[in-house]
Structure 1
Amino acid sequence: MSYLKQKSPKFKKFSLANIQHFESFLLLVFFVLGFLGILNHAMWRDELNGWLIARDSPSLTDFWNNIRYEGHPILWYACLYLLNQITQNAIAMQLFHLLLATMGIGLFIYFSPFSRLQKLLFTPGYLPIYEYLLISRNYAIGVLFLFAFCTFFKSREKSYFTLAIILALLANTNAYCLLITVALIMALVIEYIVTKYINLDINLEITLNASLQNALCSLLIVFFGIGLSVILLMPPGDSTLQGGADQWFLQWDFHRFNQTLTRIWNSYILVLVPGDSKPPDVFLFAIISFGILAFMITIFLEYPIILCFYLMGTGGIVLFTYLKFLGSARHYGHLYLILITAFWLSQYYSPSNLLTQFIFKIPESFIPMITRWLSWTKKNKITFLMIILYAQLAAGIVSFSRDVFLPYSASREAAQYIQAKGWQDRFIIGSEDFTIVPISGYLERKIYYPESQKEGSFVLFNQHRKIVNDQEILGQLQKLIDQHPKPLLLILNRKLDASPSGLTIEPIKEFTRSFIGNETYYLYEIK
């Protein structure tokens, strides 16, 4: 029986163990909630910018060049490009994303070694039900391939080809999954070398019969996937996204180090997150995060290959977070996925004393303390996992419910208002450009962006794009007013703060109900 299994809590005669077709029922509930949530969800710029790149790139060459500015690998964008050959309605992207999320959770529900209660808690958790379901990005597809890797992990007994193909695809979902891919392939290489050539006992529950030729060919497949991912993750020289290719944080900063370390806590426990602007709070939670890291390392000491994966995966993302991008929950949430993956993969091994035997070679005065620590972590590892799952569930319920009542973006409401008034064919000016992207997506038409001084739909963060103030926008309107049928429609993501000269500007309506703070909109008529 898996050490992850524990008896479900019973209420009178009720028990999760007594529910027939539990897995199918749980997956159906997930899909139905996701379907209703997807239809209700108002898409924001990060969702629709990729869709518009796929829709409005005139050629495959342009498509390739445009997605290089996105800071993501190709797989999600390739899917969007294919979807656009069928329909240009962005709802197709949402439904496709729902399918990917459901498939990923399906693998978890049907094939993971977790108990029914743990599956029940994980499935509607913050990442599966909210970040990686409602918001159509390239993260659900990463979860799908990560869980596919766990599901087919035992197949390496005869061949590595299946795992290699999965890892090559995983590497091309997003930057964080690329780091996870590197950690997984390094763990597999270490396992193969240790088992085949060093003959160390790591308590594998299978015999690795794959030939060296099979292993090397599989490694080449993974390297190809990693190489393709890295090519697209390296932005063009004129990219300004996240500071561009040269923007790395290479100096030592104690507060940033604490911010980075705190991402471990933020990823696992989402119900109490310290603000980055409060150094004392960040320092406190950095210490707690270090304690959590020590706890998890101790748990996986009996599983050397899993410990290698956990340390390399967690360390890689933490290092990237410090050097490049502190990120938000959907980014450092991959630390939580690494934890779940480590627990899952550990079930393919029996406990080994390969590493623990070295602990007891320390001075005898420390042995009682170490023994108590090892005993305490072993006793409480399931409790710790359950605390994390309950915290994730609470965050998932709150976030999913909030999206039902508070639009994620005001873009859909603004677009629907424009369509209801019959103004969708007017000449429309919109600023700040990247916040107007979702309106362009919902209206299925291009909008004039003052930042680039041309009509467009998606936005590329490059040096051709210039930040403009309201006075400069009015200056461009002076030139546009005589070139297009009047009246014109101006959409801003803030109130107009400039005095028009020679223009009649009439405020029409405000759309301020939005979870994303800068995706509120103010409509003006220009005469």
Structure 2
Amino acid sequence: MALMVSIIGETRSAKFGKALIFMAWLAVASALCWSETVWRDEVRALSLALQGDNFIDMLRQMHGEGHPALWYILLRAAYIVVGSPIVLKILALTIAAAAAYLLVFRLNLPLSIMLLSLCSSFLIFDYAAMSRNYGISMLIVFLIVLSWEKGTRNGILPGLLFALLANTNVHSVVLVGGFLAYWFFDLILARPRPSVTEYRALATAAAIAAVGIVLCFVTVYPTFNDTGQNDLAGKSFALLALGALAAPSSHFMEFYPDRILELIVAYPLASRIFATLMSALVYGSLLALANRPPAMIAAALVLLGLSLLFTLVYPGGYRHQALWLVFMIAITATAHFQREKAGVTGVAAAGGIVKLGRLCFLLLLALQAASGLEKLNRAFVAEIPLSRSKDFGAFIQSRPDLKDAIIVADPDYLVEALPYYVSNRTYLMREERFGAIVRYTRNARLSLSLTDVLQTARRLRQSEHVPVIVLLSQRLDQINAPVSLRESYVWRLSLTPEEIAAFLSAADLVKRFGPVAGSDETYDAYLLK
């Protein structure tokens, strides 16, 4: 497979145009990154990375969290240098910028794919403005493509990159399998037959990748977040697997912009129509690789692999689903510019099919660009944040009398984003301990009442002799009858009018925070009397 490099002899105007495109992307992504309020999953990773006295102690304490170690190692190393939580944004934006640079200057994709990818929600927001570990996957995937030809001579370089990719997140293990499948089918379909040396290089890369995959699973499992996994009790494993294989596109509905998703929720008939359209776009996109069967097989296997993962292990959000788009972009770059090997099956007879597939893929990317525009509108026009944690931090700083206050919340996870903005201690009611990292375990108080919340707040004030702030996601003045509400995965909160009256007589509403977009991190803040 060919090494992707900048085109020799590219005109100066073309280079200048690419530079302008990249700078425009960087300006937009930077503005989104610095304006965006961090939310709990972002700060949770930093809190985990800063555990323990050293790297080894940190790795020991994060075992079972649900993610492999690479992101946490990078965060801790960056924090040692910078000494501020701002490393979250700096690191995420730097990684995304490196990936975008490769996309513009090195992968040499068709202009339409390059531009739509840059405008997509995943590249300007989810993998850049949002400080998570999925942007590293994108960067490593692009590096794999760029280093392929040189690496396939002995298999060591791609193997090392595969191992790194497997330790960005569990979902990227599927991408590793896709690259290995691409390599394998490229060898067995080639004519004349490749030499034994080429197969040995594949075996070497696969062995190194296997070490990385094992390291990933040893770090992640057994997970202490046992409520975060899909509950398969009473369900047929075989039927679930067959369903995932039969209709994998059903797990990729978040490829639609939010406006369409809102329409789908409001109108069940629209849901069926848009699900069918998404199936056509996803499956049709595979046809863009029809003139390179190894690439098409690999992309299809990644699609099925992620679908199985979403069905049998973890539910998939947009940040997970978009990894398939990243893989498609990378494979498209490789297939588009690879020197065709003589005699590879199916190379010559796929012109019309390929054009149809490319149209489907462009439409799919156009939907991501529409989602990207929604993110820009939300951030700079509507000015609706992802979380109200920043506003809460400003409120605390405006109240010197609350600088030592203990913060409790329901749901507990509302406190996870707060350490980025305030230094107040936080208490996790369901686990009955101080801390800012929630363990989604069944070994906790799965059911709480508002009376339990009030008793916990009173006990903390009595034992710690400091003010206690209670954050509630439920608007108590809007509840007029007994209710039992599901929160998170298996938590429940029960409220009755009598409990609400008792709580309101014991605590003052000091701040009501406004709406959010894309999360549930808004709440009312009560100060215990």
Interval of TM-score (by shorter of Structure 1 and Structure 2): 0.7 to 0.9
Any idea what the Cα deviations from partners look like across 1:383-409, whole Å, max 9, x if unmatched?
A: 334333333222212213313311110
- In 1, the alpha carbon distance for the partners of 2:503 and 2:356 equals 70
Residues 158 and 107 of structure 1, relative CA distance in 2, 3 Å threshold? same
State the shift of 1:280 in Å: 4.2
**Aligned residue number for residue 81 of structure 1:** 76
Any idea what the Cα deviations from partners look like across 1:351-402, whole Å, max 9, x if unmatched?
A: 8775449x9xxxxxxxxxxx9xx55424444433433333322221221331
**Aligned residue number for residue 91 of structure 2:** 96
**Aligned residue number for residue 417 of structure 1:** 395
1:443 counterpart letter in structure 2: V
Of 309, 317, 324, the match for 1:320: 309
State the shift of 1:58 in Å: 5.1
2:463 aligned counterpart, secondary structure: coil
Of 442, 457, 476, the match for 1:463: 442
State the shift of 1:271 in Å: 6.8
What 5-or-longer segments of structure 2 have no aligned partner?
3-10, 477-494
Residues 294 and 520 of structure 1, relative CA distance in 2, 3 Å threshold? closer
Q: Given that residues 429 and 489 in structure 1 are in contact (C-alpha distance below 8 angstroms), is that contact kept between their aligned partners in structure 2? A: yes
Residues 210 and 95 of structure 1, relative CA distance in 2, 3 Å threshold? farther
State the shift of 1:522 in Å: 1.4
Q: Given that residues 290 and 354 in structure 2 are in contact (C-alpha distance below 8 angstroms), is that contact kept between their aligned partners in structure 1? A: no
Residues 209 and 436 of structure 1, relative CA distance in 2, 3 Å threshold? same
Of 501, 516, 528, the match for 1:514: 516
**Aligned residue number for residue 369 of structure 2:** 393
Any idea what the Cα deviations from partners look like across 1:22-65, whole Å, max 9, x if unmatched?
A: 22222222222222221111011111111111124456565334
1:428 aligned counterpart, secondary structure: strand
State the shift of 1:170 in Å: 0.8
Q: How high is the sequence identity, in percent, across the aligned residues?
A: 18
Q: Pick which of 65-74 and 124-133 moved more.
A: 65-74
Q: Given that residues 286 and 357 in structure 2 are in contact (C-alpha distance below 8 angstroms), is that contact kept between their aligned partners in structure 1? A: no
**Aligned residue number for residue 467 of structure 2:** 487
Of 166, 170, 173, the match for 1:171: 166
Residues 399 and 247 of structure 1, relative CA distance in 2, 3 Å threshold? farther
**Aligned residue number for residue 500 of structure 1:** 502
Residues 329 and 87 of structure 1, relative CA distance in 2, 3 Å threshold? same
State the shift of 1:194 in Å: 5.0
Q: Pick which of 452-461 and 381-390 moved more.
A: 381-390
- In 1, the alpha carbon distance for the partners of 2:13 and 2:433 equals 63
- In 1, the alpha carbon distance for the partners of 2:140 and 2:528 equals 50
Residues 313 and 247 of structure 1, relative CA distance in 2, 3 Å threshold? farther
1:89 aligned counterpart, secondary structure: coil
1:466 aligned counterpart, secondary structure: coil
Aligned residue pairs: how many?
A: 491
Q: Given that residues 124 and 396 in structure 1 are in contact (C-alpha distance below 8 angstroms), is that contact kept between their aligned partners in structure 2? A: yes
**Aligned residue number for residue 185 of structure 2:** 190
Residues 431 and 352 of structure 1, relative CA distance in 2, 3 Å threshold? farther
**Aligned residue number for residue 486 of structure 2:** none
Q: Given that residues 152 and 158 in structure 2 are in contact (C-alpha distance below 8 angstroms), is that contact kept between their aligned partners in structure 1? A: no
State the shift of 1:72 in Å: 1.5
Residues 284 and 238 of structure 1, relative CA distance in 2, 3 Å threshold? closer
State the shift of 1:323 in Å: 2.4
Q: Given that residues 249 and 323 in structure 1 are in contact (C-alpha distance below 8 angstroms), is that contact kept between their aligned partners in structure 2? A: no
**Aligned residue number for residue 228 of structure 2:** 241
**Normalising by structure 2, what TM-score?**
0.82
Q: Given that residues 235 and 244 in structure 1 are in contact (C-alpha distance below 8 angstroms), is that contact kept between their aligned partners in structure 2? A: no
1:302 counterpart letter in structure 2: N
State the shift of 1:502 in Å: 11
Q: Given that residues 134 and 169 in structure 2 are in contact (C-alpha distance below 8 angstroms), is that contact kept between their aligned partners in structure 1? A: yes
What 5-or-longer segments of structure 1 have no aligned partner?
3-15, 201-206, 360-370
1:174 aligned counterpart, secondary structure: coil
**Aligned residue number for residue 220 of structure 1:** 207
**Normalising by structure 1, what TM-score?**
0.83
Q: Given that residues 181 and 294 in structure 2 are in contact (C-alpha distance below 8 angstroms), is that contact kept between their aligned partners in structure 1? A: no
**Aligned residue number for residue 343 of structure 1:** 332
Residues 375 and 221 of structure 1, relative CA distance in 2, 3 Å threshold? closer
Residues 37 and 269 of structure 1, relative CA distance in 2, 3 Å threshold? closer
**Aligned residue number for residue 362 of structure 1:** none
Q: Given that residues 249 and 324 in structure 1 are in contact (C-alpha distance below 8 angstroms), is that contact kept between their aligned partners in structure 2? A: no
State the shift of 1:172 in Å: 0.9
Q: Is 2:452 the partner of 1:472?
A: yes
Residues 411 and 314 of structure 1, relative CA distance in 2, 3 Å threshold? same
2:168 counterpart letter in structure 1: T
Q: How does 1:355-374 map to 2 (within 5 A)?
A: 355-356=345-346
Residues 403 and 67 of structure 1, relative CA distance in 2, 3 Å threshold? farther
- In 2, the alpha carbon distance for the partners of 1:293 and 1:493 equals 37
Residues 390 and 454 of structure 1, relative CA distance in 2, 3 Å threshold? same
Q: Is 2:408 the partner of 1:408?
A: no
